[in-house]
Amino acid sequence: MKTQEILKKVKTGEISVEEAELFFRRQPFEEMGYAKLDTHRKMRSGFAEVIFCSGKADEHLLNIFGKLYDHDGEVLGTRATRHQYEMIKAAYPEAVYDEISRIIKIEKPGKQRVGKIAVCSAGTADIPVAEEAAQTAEYFGSHVERLYDVGVAGIHRILSRLEVIQSANCVIAVAGMEGALASVIGGLVDKPVIGVPTSVGYGASLGGVSALLTMINSCANGISVVNIDNGYGAGYTATQINRLAVSQ
C-alpha cells in the first residue's frame, strides 16, 4: 500500500515532510489507477474508437483514419462528406461510403452479427439518421432489422410489423417533427426503446427540439433519449444493451 510506504519513509526520514506533503496534496487522484483506465477500457468494452468526420481537416482526418486502421484493422467514420470519402479512398481503396448515412468505413470481413435491434423511422426524411444508427449497430456486431416510414399518422404501418419490434432486444425510434413514434412503440414492446429526435421539419420543429421534447415527455415506460440526429449514439447504446442480452 503506497500511503503506508510513504508514511514509513517519513518516519524513517527517507523522505522529508515537505516531499510527503506534496504527495498527499495530489494523492486523491493518483492513487486510483486512472492512468490505466484508458487501455483497460478499450480491451474490455469491445468498442473501437470511431471518427466524427464532420469539420475535420483533410490531413488530420487521414492521419486518424490511418492510425485507427493500423491499430484495429477496421475503421468507422460518421458524418463524412463525399469529398472526405474520396480523399480517404485514394489512400485506402478498400474504404466504402454510404451516401445516405454518410458513413465511411473499412470493415473486417466475415463479421458475425448477433441478437436483434429494430431501427424504426417515422418518415422517409428521417432515414439518414436511422441508417447511421443501423450501420453503427451492425459495425459493432448487432443484427439489425429496419422498419422505415412507419410514422404514427398512419398507425397501421407500425402495427403490421409488430412481430419484428416485439422480438428485438432493443428498439431505436427515429422521428422528427412531432416525434410521437417513440411513445407508440414504447407501449407495444417490453424492451428498452431509444428515441432519436431528428432535425427534419420546418417551422415550429425548431431544428429537432420539438421532437426531443416530445420524446423526453413520453408517457410510455422504457424510453430514453439521445441527442437530435445522434444516430451513432443510439446505435452504440442499443448495441451495449443487445450485447448484455446475448452474452449472459
Q: Which of residues 180-239 bind a second copy (CB under 8 A)?
A: 180, 183-184, 186-192, 194, 197, 199, 201-230, 233-234, 236-237
Q: Is 28 an interacting residue with respect to a second copy (CB under 8 A)?
A: yes
Q: Is 247 an interacting residue with respect to a second copy (CB under 8 A)?
A: yes
Helix (H, G, I), strand (E, B) or coil at 172: strand
Q: Is 88 an interacting residue with respect to a second copy (CB under 8 A)?
A: no
- Pick the piece of the chain touching a second copy (CB under 8 A) from 10-18, 66-74, 82-90, 101-109: 10-18
Q: How far is the CB of 69 from a second copy (least distance, A)?
A: 18
Contact 174/122 with Cβ under 8 angstroms? yes
E strand spans, 99-242: 103-106, 114-121, 142-147, 170-175, 193-197, 223-225
CB-wise, 94 or 167, nearer to a second copy? Answer: 167
Q: Is 113 left (phi over 0), alpha (psi -120 to 50) or beta?
A: beta
CB-wise, 101 or 183, nearer to a second copy? Answer: 183
Q: How far is the CB of 126 from a second copy (least distance, A)?
A: 11
| Residue 5 exposed, middle or buried by CB count within 10 Å (0-12, 13-18, 19+) | exposed
Angstrom CA distances, 176 to 24, 113, 129, 195, 197, stand at 52, 29, 10, 10, 5
CB-wise, 37 or 94, nearer to a second copy? Answer: 37
Restricting to residues 51-70, name those near a second copy by CB under 8 A. Answer: 54-56, 60
Contact with a second copy (CB under 8 A) among 70, 109, 112, 248? 248
Pull the grid cell for residue 231: 444516430
